[in-house]
């Protein structure tokens, strides 16, 4: 399966956070690698999107859109350069 970059989830992240997030920098909770969301590996074949660290390939963000609410779990991607909603 071919990975996309973080720009593939730009729209859903904008809707969820209310701000442009692809340039948000964070740190992988698994290996400590730093990256912008745009640099992460996105896999879109699931019902939502699975976002993996570019370095260790562990899951750092999961995005699951629903009918009335979108769920975003970014507990393994710690934002470092802006005040991000938690």
Question: Range of 21's domain?
Answer: 4-79
Domain-embedded: residue 71 = yes
**pLDDT at residue 83 tops 70:** no
Q: Average pLDDT in the 23-41 region?
A: 97
d(CA 62, CA 71): 8
Domain-embedded: residue 59 = yes
| Confidence band, pLDDT 50/70/90 cuts, at residue 67 | confident
Residue 27 has a CB neighbour count (10 Å cut-off) of: 17
Domain-embedded: residue 62 = yes
Give the number of domains in the chain: 1
**pLDDT at residue 56 tops 90:** yes
Domain-embedded: residue 84 = no
**pLDDT at residue 81 tops 80:** no
- pLDDT at residue 51, rounded to an integer: 98
Domain-embedded: residue 37 = yes
Domain-embedded: residue 86 = no
Domain-embedded: residue 19 = yes
d(CA 80, CA 2): 28
- For residue 20, give the nearest of 35, 40, 5, 6 by alpha carbon: 6
Domain-embedded: residue 33 = yes
């Amino acid at each position: 399966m071919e990975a996309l970059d973080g720009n593939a989830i730009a729209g859903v992240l904008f809707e969820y956070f209310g701000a442009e997030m692809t340039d948000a920098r964070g740190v992988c909770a698994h290996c400590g690698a730093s990256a912008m969301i745009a640099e992460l590996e996105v896999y879109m074949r699931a019902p939502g999107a699975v976002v993996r660290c570019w370095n260790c390939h562990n899951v750092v963000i999961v995005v699951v859109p629903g009918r009335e609410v979108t769920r975003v779990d970014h507990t393994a991607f710690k934002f470092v350069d802006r005040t991000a909603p938690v």
